[in-house]
């Protein structure tokens, strides 16, 4: 404790009074980062020391090993760092003091500044796929060609990260699996992952590409099994009696596109047309479509029954187009249908 001495003189005799003010007697401040404590290389971040106490001077510290290094002691409670480098990554604290006393407040809780882009971005994938039903489980795998020994998974809009130790793979690669489930409405969203090394925990890779985890509800859909000839223009039409305002087309679990509802069919069903272009062998495969509402973009309907598209032959045949034979629209109320549609 540090003493503050006040002298009182009165009527020919002197008296001294020692007032003891303990370190940390004032309210502990709070340190924040704007726009985020996760900062890409070469960007800037502003640190701000907040307090309800009327501190006149603030100090900012960065922890280097076992010691705290003072970065700033000033009347201003903000400090902008950047363009950031790897040296800016680390743990920061701040404290404050009144002008009339020499006793500093307790340090704020530490704030970790993470610098991203130090390593190349990993890849991300969802297994068995990004579209799951409520109550099911999904595994998100983060993979790096480098021997990174720690991986972090982040969900867009949240302030937390899952962490996993990396598993060494053949060829000098590393990966980590994040198990999510049973799935609820709070589990859907956009996920990205990062990689790092344990001895430099605040230096991360660039973020992976995103993967959207979508939960399907329980709506049944209608089947179709069309065949088209090579070179013919192919458009897949997804329609529903329900008032979905968005439709999604997937092949083998991969999202091919999202369209807003583009009008109504002859029976009043909302629909969206997905043009694939001239038919080619690469278009062959199993397709499904989903419906959703823009207010809940990660909650989809159950998939339509699979549409197996086969591209064969050439455009010189004079046989009737098989697209015409599969252009009837499902009429059951509340069902989605996916079909081949030939533009006129």
Asked if residue 84 and residue 50 are part of one domain, the reply reads yes
Burial of 22 (0-12, 13-18, 19+ CB in 10 A): exposed
Position 236 scores a pLDDT of 85
Asked if residue 222 and residue 211 are part of one domain, the reply reads no
Asked if residue 245 and residue 190 are part of one domain, the reply reads no
Asked if residue 250 and residue 191 are part of one domain, the reply reads no
Predicted confidence (pLDDT) at residue 49 exceeds the cutoff of 60: yes
Neighbours of 205 (CB within 10 A): 23
Which of 67, 90, 117 is where one domain is finished? 117
Prediction pTM value: 0.62
Predicted confidence (pLDDT) at residue 223 exceeds the cutoff of 90: no
Q: Is residue 2 a contact partner of residue 23, using CB atoms and an 8 Å limit?
A: yes
Tell me, what CATH number does 324's domain have?
Answer: 2.60.40.10
Which of 215, 247, 274 is where one domain is finished? 215
Predicted confidence (pLDDT) at residue 56 exceeds the cutoff of 70: yes
Q: How confident is the model at residue 257 (pLDDT cuts 50, 70, 90)?
A: confident
Asked if residue 230 and residue 147 are part of one domain, the reply reads no
Phi-psi region for residue 252, left (φ > 0), alpha (ψ -120 to 50) or beta? left
Angle at alpha carbon of residue 162, lines to 158 and 163, rounded to 5°? 145
Asked if residue 249 and residue 327 are part of one domain, the reply reads yes
What is the arithmetic mean of pLDDT over 143-155?
Answer: 95
Which of 95, 117, 139 is where one domain is finished? 117
Predicted confidence (pLDDT) at residue 26 exceeds the cutoff of 90: no
Q: How confident is the model at residue 199 (pLDDT cuts 50, 70, 90)?
A: very high
Neighbours of 16 (CB within 10 A): 9
Mean pLDDT, the chain, integer: 76
Asked if residue 158 and residue 95 are part of one domain, the reply reads no
Domain span at 307: 218-341
Predicted confidence (pLDDT) at residue 279 exceeds the cutoff of 60: yes
293-315 per-position pLDDT tens digit: 888 888 888 888 788 787 765 44
Top-confidence residue, 55 or 223: 55
Q: How confident is the model at residue 341 (pLDDT cuts 50, 70, 90)?
A: low
225-235 per-position pLDDT tens digit: 456 777 888 88
How many whole angstroms separate alpha carbon 252 and alpha carbon 285? 8
Of all residues in the chain, the percent with pLDDT exceeding 70 is 73
200-214 per-position pLDDT tens digit: 999 999 999 999 888
What is the arithmetic mean of pLDDT over 11-21?
Answer: 33
Strands 123-127 and 131-133: unpaired
Predicted confidence (pLDDT) at residue 324 exceeds the cutoff of 50: no
Q: How confident is the model at residue 159 (pLDDT cuts 50, 70, 90)?
A: confident
Top-confidence residue, 222 or 98: 98
Position 39 scores a pLDDT of 97
Asked if residue 296 and residue 236 are part of one domain, the reply reads yes
Predicted confidence (pLDDT) at residue 256 exceeds the cutoff of 60: yes
Selection from 18-27, 176-185, 190-199, 209-218 with the highest mean pLDDT: 190-199
Asked if residue 200 and residue 293 are part of one domain, the reply reads no
Kindly state the tokens that stand for 248. Answer: 């999604």
Q: HSE (CB half, 13 Å, CA atoms) of 204? A: 26
Torsion 128-132-133-139 (CA) sign: positive
How many whole angstroms separate alpha carbon 64 and alpha carbon 158? 29
Predicted confidence (pLDDT) at residue 19 exceeds the cutoff of 70: no
Using alpha carbons, select from 341, 277, 286 the residue that is nearest to residue 310.
286
Position 74 scores a pLDDT of 65
Selection from 34-38, 65-69, 185-189, 264-268 with the highest mean pLDDT: 34-38
Asked if residue 332 and residue 226 are part of one domain, the reply reads yes
Position 33 scores a pLDDT of 95
Asked if residue 131 and residue 16 are part of one domain, the reply reads no
What is the arithmetic mean of pLDDT over 162-183?
Answer: 91
Position 177 scores a pLDDT of 96
Asked if residue 229 and residue 332 are part of one domain, the reply reads yes
Q: How many domains are there within the chain?
A: 3
Kindly state the tokens that stand for 198. Answer: 């344990």
Using alpha carbons, select from 217, 259, 224, 264 the residue that is nearest to residue 243.
264
How many whole angstroms separate alpha carbon 304 and alpha carbon 164? 36
């Amino acid at each position: 404790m540090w003493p503050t001495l006040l002298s009182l003189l009165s009527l020919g005799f002197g008296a001294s009074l020692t007032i003891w003010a303990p370190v940390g007697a004032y309210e502990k401040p709070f340190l924040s980062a704007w726009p985020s404590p996760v900062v890409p290389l070469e960007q800037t971040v502003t640190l701000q020391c907040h307090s309800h106490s009327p501190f006149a001077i603030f100090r900012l510290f960065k922890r280097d090993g076992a010691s705290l290094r003072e970065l700033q002691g000033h009347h201003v409670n903000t400090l902008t760092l950047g363009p950031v480098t790897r040296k800016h990554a680390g743990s920061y604290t701040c404290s404050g003091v009144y002008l009339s006393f020499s006793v500093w407040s307790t340090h704020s809780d530490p704030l970790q500044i993470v610098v991203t882009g130090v390593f190349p971005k990993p890849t991300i994938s969802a297994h068995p796929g990004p579209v799951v039903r409520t109550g099911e489980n999904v595994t998100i795998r983060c993979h790096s060609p480098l021997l990174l020994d720690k991986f972090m998974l982040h969900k867009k809009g949240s302030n937390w990260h899952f962490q996993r130790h990396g598993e060494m793979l053949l060829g000098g690669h590393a990966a980590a699996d994040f198990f999510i489930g049973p799935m609820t409405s709070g589990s859907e969203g956009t996920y990205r992952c990062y990689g790092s090394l344990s001895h430099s925990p605040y230096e991360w890779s660039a973020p992976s590409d995103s993967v959207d985890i979508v939960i399907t509800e329980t709506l049944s859909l209608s089947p179709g099994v069309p065949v088209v000839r090579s070179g013919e223009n192919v458009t897949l039409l997804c329609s529903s009696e329900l008032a979905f305002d968005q439709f999604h087309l997937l092949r083998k679990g991969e999202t091919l596109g999202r369209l807003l509802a583009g009008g109504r069919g002859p029976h009043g069903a909302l629909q969206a047309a997905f043009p694939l272009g001239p038919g080619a062998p690469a278009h062959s495969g199993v397709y499904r479509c989903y419906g959703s509402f823009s207010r809940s973009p990660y909650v989809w309907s159950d998939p339509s029954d699979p549409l197996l598209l086969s591209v064969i032959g050439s455009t010189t045949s004079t046989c009737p187009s098989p697209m015409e034979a599969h252009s009837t629209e499902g009429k059951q109320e509340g069902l989605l249908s996916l079909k081949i549609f030939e533009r006129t």
